[in-house]
Amino acid sequence: MNKKKIIAVLTGLPFLGALGAFVLYLLFGYFAVDPLARRALPWVGENLLASRIAVREVKFDPLSLELTVDDFRLSRPDGGALASVGQLYVDLQADGLFRFAWHLRNIRISRPEVNFEVGKDGKLNWAELIAALSKDSQPSSTMPRVVIDSL
């Protein structure tokens, strides 16, 4: 290939469009995941799980597909603790796209805590969360494929 063809390819619209999309993906992964997750997770907890969710920090590396969640806390709406994790680390592999499966090379959970309490009324402290999860759910006929190499 001569220099003119290489320059024509590098300045062509398809290449520049793909490069722009890749740069946007990197910017989103490095800079937008944490603020979006810290806003979306509490909303999910309140509106979908009848609970509170809080995280200190969410880090995502878009090149290696590694996700780290620091100080995850799940609690009842009144503030009573349900569960917490000091750090959750997930290493997702891109080859799962070709296998039609979630391929997780490594999952690490540090300092997990789960709190089970039975109230004076005989209800488990997880009852509201379980009810919210089972509300309006239709059973699925298929299960997602998940491959976990190390837990």
Contact criterion met (CB below 8 Å) for 95 and 109: no
Query: Averaged over 103-115, what is the pLDDT?
Result: 93
What confidence tens digit (pLDDT) does each residue in 132-149 have?
888 766 767 777 788 888
Give 64's contacts (C-beta < 8 A, 6+ positions apart).
Answer: 91
Which residue, among 46, 92, 95, has the nearest Cα to 68 in the 3D structure? 92
Beta strands (DSSP E) in 5-142 are 52-54, 57-61, 66-75, 81-93, 102-110, 113-114
pLDDT over threshold 80, residue 95: yes
* Token pair belonging to 74: 């799940």
Query: Averaged over 80-108, what is the pLDDT?
Result: 89
Say what the pTM is. Answer: 0.78
Domain extents in the chain = 33-150
> What 8-state DSSP symbol labels residue 134?
H
pLDDT at 128: 86
pLDDT at 112: 96
What confidence tens digit (pLDDT) does each residue in 17-68 have?
988 999 999 999 999 999 999 999 999 999 888 899 999 999 999 999 999 9
Residue 55 CA, chain-centre distance (Å), reads 12
pLDDT at 6: 78
Average pLDDT, the chain: 88
pLDDT at 1: 60
pLDDT at 50: 86
Instruction: Work out the end-to-end distance of the chain between its first and last CA atoms, rounded to an integer number of angstroms.
Output: 48
Contact criterion met (CB below 8 Å) for 116 and 125: yes
Which residue, among 129, 111, 110, has the nearest Cα to 47 in the 3D structure? 129
